Chain A
């Protein structure tokens, strides 16, 4: 038995992206839920399973049920970080296929920009890292970038080109938070924070929320918009703390991608559009390698000189990503919403013509949790 094509996303929406003054994280979440339900043509009372992960509310699944006035059959509140939502889709497909639930809601929201202006997290430094005061989470990614540069000769310019590509996509997306021109030189001249990462290697700090609605494939076409089918998914968890990561140049995406593509029966060359969790520029290089879009160590060359920018050889993070579109602390749900938009043909100036297969990939912790989803149009079933 395979989950391939058994469940579909029938509704998707964003809310409060950028700055959402005067709103709580849960209010932004519920605005996204309202939008996704309307998009799906589903009434609130039809929702019988919910999933969320909110960093400051340990019991956020319960809070969500309360806010929505629901008594769900399943409340999923896994805490894998920003990848959680791409794991939720897999659990949703299992619940739907086993007929333990009929309509699954997956959602997230954060007000971190207007509430604090920086990453809001309940996490403290790990016991065996705290004496050395690394910046959380930035120094962990900086160590991974340093190792990649040492081991493979990845350059400062190549890291910069990831941010430049994200900005070029953002300039095509009216919803992106920052759309000013950005050059390689701008990135390299930006403030050094934790070597080798500079300010422009880092994701934005914004508000924002997103939600999707999933149903069984057999009823997916009863909804107003074209269904987006979950063709495959997989996970990998290699560590929690960066000092425990077995190899800083190889992430759990090597496992999650292989599992997801294996279930979907596709290979990297088949994918039309890619959405990767770009908390930092190094993420994109690591994930492109680990997911098989290029060989290990060649990610730098792959992204160089507009390789993943509009007009490049692979469209990556077409909304502008966490680097230039939106990053409210956990970005995973946004990879799914942008993949849905691309597969529906709703992506406006940034639309990839004829996109049928999308890869969405979430990262949690400090390169710790990796979750990959393969999504497709009806033509891919």
Chain B
């Protein structure tokens, strides 16, 4: 790993919102973007100040393909009167980063590691915007 040098990017950082706020603002407009490191080329999620692969602060926002593969899934079991069962998954995006999400449009028990999925911006459990996945090729 190369030594870290403070460059113009660092000066810019001082006067702009942090990456969490940028991500949230984009999501609120229906846009899902992740970061890409200008120094080593690694994609980064969750949003960070410096690249966890090489330490560079040269991170730019890019649109992912939205395609991913389920890495693991669980189903939280809830009684119907408390809202019923729901799934929670970890998705590996094509860009090489992983994120937690939920798969809509498929029976919970059919969702399994290896399933190909694609992203869209939907609604999270708290009512706010969230990245949600559907089975690739549409709802089954």
**Partner among B20, B74, B98, B99 whose Cβ is within 8 Å of the Cβ of A134:** B74
Provide the residues of chain B in CB contact with A197, threshold 8 Å: 74
Contact B72 A139 (CB under 8 A): no
Chain A interface: which size bin?
20 to 34
A354 at the interface (CB under 8 A from B): no
Contact B101 A132 (CB under 8 A): yes
**Partner among B20, B75, B102 whose Cβ is within 8 Å of the Cβ of A127:** B20
CA–CA, A81 and B73, complex, Å: 25
Provide the residues of chain A in CB contact with B88, threshold 8 Å: 132-134, 139, 143, 194
The digit string for A189-221, where 1 denotes a CB below 8 A from any CB of B, is 001111111000000000000000000000000
**Partner among A130, A146, A192, A193 whose Cβ is within 8 Å of the Cβ of B72:** A146
The digit string for B78-116, where 1 denotes a CB below 8 A from any CB of A, is 000000001010100000001111100000000011100
What residue of chain A has the Cβ atom nearest to residue B52's Cβ?
A244
A243 at the interface (CB under 8 A from B): yes
Provide the residues of chain B in CB contact with A147, threshold 8 Å: 71-72, 113
Contact B76 A129 (CB under 8 A): no
* Shortest distance between the CB of B7 and any CB in chain A (Å): 26
* Shortest distance between the CB of B87 and any CB in chain A (Å): 9
CA–CA, A142 and B74, complex, Å: 6
Provide the residues of chain B in CB contact with A127, threshold 8 Å: 20, 46
Segment among B9-17, B35-43, B55-63, B120-128 that sits at the interface with chain A:
B120-128
List residues of A (109-154) whose CB comes within 8 Å of B's CBs: 127-135, 139, 142-144, 146-147, 150-151
* Shortest distance between the CB of A64 and any CB in chain B (Å): 35
The 5 sampled A-B contact pairs (Cβ below 8 Å) are A130-B124, A132-B88, A133-B125, A146-B113, A243-B90
Report A's interface with B, CB cutoff 8 A.
127-135, 139, 142-144, 146-147, 150-151, 191-197, 242-244, 248
Closest 6 CB pairs of A and B: A131-B124, A131-B130, A142-B74, A133-B125, A243-B100, A147-B72
Beyond A132-B100, A132-B102, A143-B73, 20 additional contacts (C-beta under 8 Å) are A127-B20, A128-B45, A129-B100, A131-B125, A132-B88, A132-B130, A133-B86, A133-B88, A139-B88, A143-B72, A146-B72, A147-B72, A147-B113, A150-B113, A150-B114, A196-B74, A242-B100, A243-B99, A248-B71, A248-B72
